[in-house]
Structures are given as structure tokens and as C-alpha cells.
Chain A
Amino acid sequence: MIRAENVTKIFGSDPESAIPLLEENKTKEEIRELTGQTVGVNKASFDIQQGEVFAIMGLSGCGKSTLIRCINRIIDPTAGHIFFKHPDRGEVDITQLDEEALRTLRKQNMSMVFQHFALLPHRTVLSNVGYGMEIQGRGRRKRQEAAQRVLDMVGLGPWGRSYPSELSGGMQQRVGLARGLATDAEVLLMDEPFSALDPLIKVDMQQELTRIQRELHRTILFITHDLDEAMRIGDHIAIMEDGKIVQIGSPEQILVNPRTEYVAKFVEHADPTGVITAGTIALPLDSDKFVSAGERDGISYLHRQDLPHVRYGMDREGRLHDVQMDEQDVPVRRLEEVLEDESARPASSERTGLALTCGEDAVLRDILRSRLYSTLPVAVTNGDGRVRGLIDDPELINGILEKRGEIP
């Protein structure tokens, strides 16, 4: 939907002078000393798919706001290209658009939520939310109705007639969010939209955004300096340092495999339980920690080295056939359905009476919760039902503490 190619922004009197130095991989600091120019964004490239939330995160001053402003050209990039898959006109290069085309793009296709809200102080909350639609030329009545709907959605229904200065910072931020959502633009540029909210409302709004997103499938570029937030709502995350994008990946890829020291530092304190998946931490079946326990009726059995009395039987295709404990069959259920069934929760001493299976994409948090139902290792199956591996306590502990499965 949006593809950035080497987008670069240099602030200062003579931006061009810094470009060759960037090619030599000089740092922001060096360039500042040599030329007096400030590097805002340094050759950023990424590709945002339609309907995804793409989070950009990094420390204060690393160029996040500058980068997002380049996308709708509130700031003109010094170099690079930004391609946008226009719903009617195919791929357009935003950096090449003229005034008129740019305005149409901003009006119809891209809207924005600002870090410092930027609500118009002389307009009421409702008329702020309706501003984008007013520019689109929608009628007054329609505009107000739509604005009220969005305002209800962000939980500020009764505040339409107030002025921004009468609202708290967090409420103003939600008005800014409502204004951004109200125009029906395909692309939403959000610059730290939740930074001024208190922790409770913040989580609420993150869930609300995820819910809206499931309904509306906007393409969202979301800036934050909170890695947990980026992981919670981002389908992909780009990490920026000093104007450069140092890593792009899914939340789990970043968490499990931080590419630089800087990323690793961020990741260190992130909460992995909602991000890391069963597929990542499962002890793979081909590990030497598994021991074969013979074959019966075409079903081959194996067990973990350290847990000989729990046996997993698999058919020829590798699908789970049955689980036995002390040679007795144990019922097998899917983890997802058990978690929704409070009544299935047994007494503590009976948690060996049930075996669970889960998909590769089940997250750590759910697997941890499933330990309330069963303490037997969870069998991880892939798309066509084949067993990929098992998760027992060592894998869970490593997953949480080391953010990966097996310690080599």
C-alpha cells in the first residue's frame, strides 16, 4: 500500500551537502559537525501492506515524526521516493505529486493524528472532528452525524459542544484520534496517538483501535516510543535509531532475534507473553531429547527423556493419535477451547488428567494459562495437524526469560 524507498530528510541551510556523507555511512553526529546539517531521516525504506498496522518505534529525536510527515509531505523529503497504491489510479509516487494532486490525496486517502493533538482551539470538539469531512465538502448534517458517531466510538460522546481547552490532555488526544478516523481515508498516519493517555485508557484505546481495525481494515502507520504498545497493535515493527531504520520485522521476529545492540536493549524489558508463539519455543520432535517408545497398530510412540510415563502416539503422517499416561489414555483437547471453558478447570491435583494441543501461533500467555488445566506438555501442531514439538516447563521458562525456546 505504501512503499518508501530511501526516504531521507536533512534539516538545515544546505541539505544536499549532507547526502554524499550519508552515502559514506557517516553518523548523524559526524554530519552535524562537518556540515551543520541535522539528519532527520536517513534512507528509510519499508513496505506497508494494505490493511496492516505498521508500527515505527524509537527513542525521542530519532526521526519518527519527521518520517511520518514525509509520507503525506507535510515535510518534503530531501531524497527518496514514496509509492502509494492509489485505489483508482494505481501506484503513484507521492514525492512527485503536484500541489493539487497532493491535496486530493490528503483529503481523500490519508488522514493524520498528531502527537501534540493540534486541535483547532476556536472550534468545538464536534466541529474539530468534522474538519476533514468539511474539507471533503460533505454537507453539514451528514458531517455532524458522522462526527458524533466517531466521537461516541472514542468515548467522548457528550463532549461535542465543548472547546478543546476545556478537555484534559488525554481527552484532547482522543478527539485528535476521532478527527483522524472520521474521514474514511484508507491510510491513517498516527504520530504517538496514545502517548498522553493514562495506562488504563491507553490499553482501552489500543484494544479499541484493534477492534476498529478488524472492522475497517485501514492501513495504519503508527508511531510510538513504547515497544509493548508497538507489539500489541503492530503487525510489523520498524525500529529507528538516529534517523535510520535498523530493523523491520514482526513483533516476534524482533523480540526473538534483535539485530543490533540497540534493538536488544529495547527488547530486554519488553513483555514477551503476548508476542512469542508456540512455534518458536516448542522443543522440536527431532530433538535428541525425545526417546522412542515403540510402535503399536501403526502408531509410533515417543516420550521426553525426562518424562517417560507420558507418551505421545502419532500416526504415519505425524498427526497426534493419542496421549497416554502410565499406559492409560488421557483425553486430548484443543487449548483454545479449553481456555474459554472455565468449568473445565480441574483441581490442582488433577491437572494430569487432560492433554492439550495448540497451533504454532498460540502465544505464550495462553499456554501459561493452560497450565491451570493441564500440566502435561502441550503438543504444538502445524496447519495440517502434524505435531511440530512439545512445550513443557523448561520451554515456557526459557521463552519468558530468554525470549527463545531451547538454550543451545
Chain B
Amino acid sequence: MTDPFGFIDLPVRQVITDIVNWIVATFRDFSRTYISPPVRGVMNGVQWGLSSVPPGAFILATFVLGWWAASWRVGVFSVIAFALIGFMGVWDQMIITLSLVVTAVFFCVLIGLPLGILSSRSDRFYGFMRPVLDIMQTTPPFVYLVPAVMLFSIGNVPGLIATIVFAMPPVIRLTNLGIRHVNPEFIEAAVAFGSTKRQILWKVQFPLAMPTIMAGLNQTIMLALSMVVIAAIIGAGGLGLEVYAGLERLNIGQAFVGGIGIVLLAMVLDRITQGLGEKAPGVRDRD
């Protein structure tokens, strides 16, 4: 049988390679001078802060946070989870992973929130954002790693960049959604008292959208955690590296310890941010 597609050969591979090469050649210097330093700076700061807290105090703090944000159950669960992580001997790796997540989420919110607000206020801008968000979310996470390495070399920074890109869409989407779904009645009331567009945004729309935005933030944190683990392949440290190194050396025990640590961390982060979301102002109305 002859190949039915043989008579045309779309040079997609070549074109993509050329494009990526061009992007890398053009932006490498820019990325390394202007993007890497702030990301690395925040990462180092967060990591320094988190690792300088004594584990005992850290665990106590998560207990209080869990209790305050959600319930005493969540507080107790946090204590058990972090104690386990410590006793399994991956405390330092956990701190690195947490720092990576915090840093990535920080940039996701910093960039995603304004984009979400912009999307909610302009249909045209949202029309442009939508396909971009779709691409960002459906591209397999591994695909981000290649250009990240090419632009930023290896280590924590390319891992973080890939994570930020991968984890940002929920913040944008749900900020947009939350603001658009505020009951028009409330906006009408604000308008009737002479509020400006900006006053309406900050005094009415944003607080009322807060529960939805927090749901987006929760998703972003979970995505960031999953990506930070994958980023171990390109040299990011932490629990992901533990898993990756364990698999590479066929040390199943080591890989499992890393994996359990990730799951525990994910559960604690999820419960706490969900609790925060329900505490958010505006939530009182949604009964």
C-alpha cells in the first residue's frame, strides 16, 4: 500500500524548529536579563523566609492557619501532614517545593488578576484571551519545558517560568467569570449613586467576585504544585526531584516518600485555600 498522504509533505517540524530557534535567539538575552532576576529574587526570598522558620514554629503556624481559615480539623490535619513529612526526612525538599509553589502563584496572581479584570471589562480582550487560555491549558505540561530550558537554561527559574505559564489560566478565567457574574442589580445600585467604573469595580464587583476568584486561586495552586514536580526534570529541586531521582536510580522507596510528601502538601494547601475562599467577603450572599 502506498502512503495516501505521501504526495504532500507539510514541513511543520522544520517550521516550528525554525520559529523556536528564532525566538530563542532573539529573546534569550532579554529573558535572562529581565525575567530571570525578579523570578529568582522572589524565589530566593520566599525560600529564605520559609527555611528560616524552625519546623516546630512552622507546624504551629499551619495549625493556626488551618483552624482560622477552615476548621480545627484542617488545623490538626496540617500538623499531622507536616510532621509526617518531617519524620520521613524530606522537610527541606518540602520547603523548596513550597517556595516554588508560592513564587509561581505569586506571579500568577500578579499577572493573572489584571488580565482577568481586563477580560471581564472588554469582550474584545476576552475574545483574544480565550484561545490563548485554551492553548495554555491543553498543551501538555512537558511541552513547556523545552522552550523554558532554551530561554532560561536549567534550574529553578525555567521550572518556575513553565509553572507560571501552566498554572495561570484559572486565575484569569475565574476572575473574569466572577466579575461578569455579579448580579446586575448591585451594579445598578452603585451606578444610581454616581459611582465611577473604577469604584464599581473595587467596591462592588471585585468583593462580590472574591469567592469565585478564590476558587480560581485554589486551582492555580494545585496546578502549580503538579507542575513544580514535573519541573524537576529540568533541574528544579524539592520533592519532585526526590521522585525523579528515585525513579532514575530505581529507588522506589525514595520516589514514594517524595510522592507522599507531594500528596500531603497538596491536601493541606487545598483545604486551607478552600477555607479562605469561603471566608472571602461577598460569600455571605451565596446561600
For window 128-155 of chain A, which residues contact chain B by CB distance below 8 Å? 131-132, 134-136
A134 to B190, CA, bound (A): 11
Cβ contact of A121, chosen from B188, B194, B208, cutoff 8 A: B208
- Interface-side segment among A108-116, A252-260, A388-396: A108-116
Contacts across chains A and B counted by CB atoms under 8 Å: 68
Distance from A60 Cβ to chain B, minimum over Cβ atoms (Å): 18
Given known A135-B199, A165-B287, contact A122–B191 (CB-CB < 8 A): no
Q: How large is the interface on A (under 10, 10 to 19, 20 to 34, 35 or more residues)?
A: 20 to 34
A122 touches B192 (CB 8 A): no
Q: Which of B165-203 contact A (CB under 8 A)?
A: 185-186, 188-196, 199, 203
A93-129 CB contacts (< 8 Å) to partner B = 103-108, 110-112, 114, 116, 118-122
* Contact among B192, B284, B285 for A72, CB-based, below 8 A: B192
Tell me, rounded to whole Å, the shortest Cβ–Cβ distance linking A257 to chain B: 36
A121: nearest residue on chain B (CB-CB)? B285
Determine if B282 is an interface residue (Cβ-Cβ < 8 Å). yes
| A344-376 with Cβ < 8 A to chain B | none
Main secondary structure of the interface of B (DSSP, over half): helix
Residues of B within 8 Å of A183, CB to CB, are 193
Verify A106–B193 contact, CB threshold 8 A.
yes
Does residue B264 face the partner (Cβ distance < 8 Å to A)? no
Q: Which residue of B lies closest to A106 (CB)?
A: B194
Determine whether the beta carbon of A118 is less than 8 Å from that of B186: yes
Q: What chain A residues lie within 8 Å of B282 (beta carbons)? A: 121-122
Chain A residue nearest to B183 in the complex (CB): A118
> Which one of B186, B193, B196 contacts A132 once the chains associate, using CB atoms below 8 Å?
B193
Q: Which residues of A contact B210 (CB under 8 A)?
A: 122
B86 interface residue (CB < 8 Å to A) = no
Closest chain A CB from B205 CB (angstroms): 11
Q: Is B49 interfacial (CB-CB < 8 Å)?
A: no
**Interchain CA distance A72-B189 in the complex, whole Å:** 12
Known: A135-B199, A165-B284, A165-B285. A120 touches B186 (CB 8 A): yes
Contact B208 A106 (CB under 8 A): no
Return the contact of B188 from the options A74, A135, A189 (Cβ within 8 A): A74
- Residues of chain A lying within 8 A (CB to CB) of residue B203: 120, 131, 134
Contacts of A72 in B (CB 8 A): 192
Q: Does B114 contact A (CB under 8 A)?
A: no
Question: Which of A106, A120, A165 is in CB contact (< 8 Å) with B191?
Answer: A106
Bound CA–CA A103/B203 (angstroms)? 16
Q: At the interface, yes or no: B207 with Cβ under 8 Å from chain A? A: yes
Q: Assuming the A-B contacts A103-B196, A132-B193, are A118 and B188 also in contact, with contact meaning beta carbons closer than 8 angstroms in the complex?
A: yes
* Bound complex: CA A107 to CA B193 (Å): 5
B196's nearest neighbour on chain A, judged by CB, is A103
Q: A116-B185, A135-B199 are in contact. Are A122 and B207 (CB under 8 A)?
A: yes
* Given A163-B284, A165-B285, A118 contacting B185 (CB threshold 8 A): yes
User: Closest A-chain residue to B192, C-beta based?
Assistant: A112
B250 smallest CB distance to A (angstroms): 55
B204 in the interface, Cβ–Cβ < 8 Å? yes
Q: In the bound complex, what is the Cα–Cα distance between A130 and B196 (angstroms)?
A: 16
Contacts A/B (CB < 8 Å), 25 sampled: A74-B188, A74-B191, A103-B195, A107-B193, A107-B194, A108-B194, A110-B192, A111-B193, A112-B189, A114-B188, A114-B189, A114-B192, A120-B186, A120-B189, A120-B203, A120-B208, A122-B282, A131-B189, A131-B203, A132-B193, A132-B194, A135-B193, A163-B284, A183-B193, A189-B192
Interface pairs A-B: 3 shortest CB-CB: A107-B194, A121-B285, A106-B194
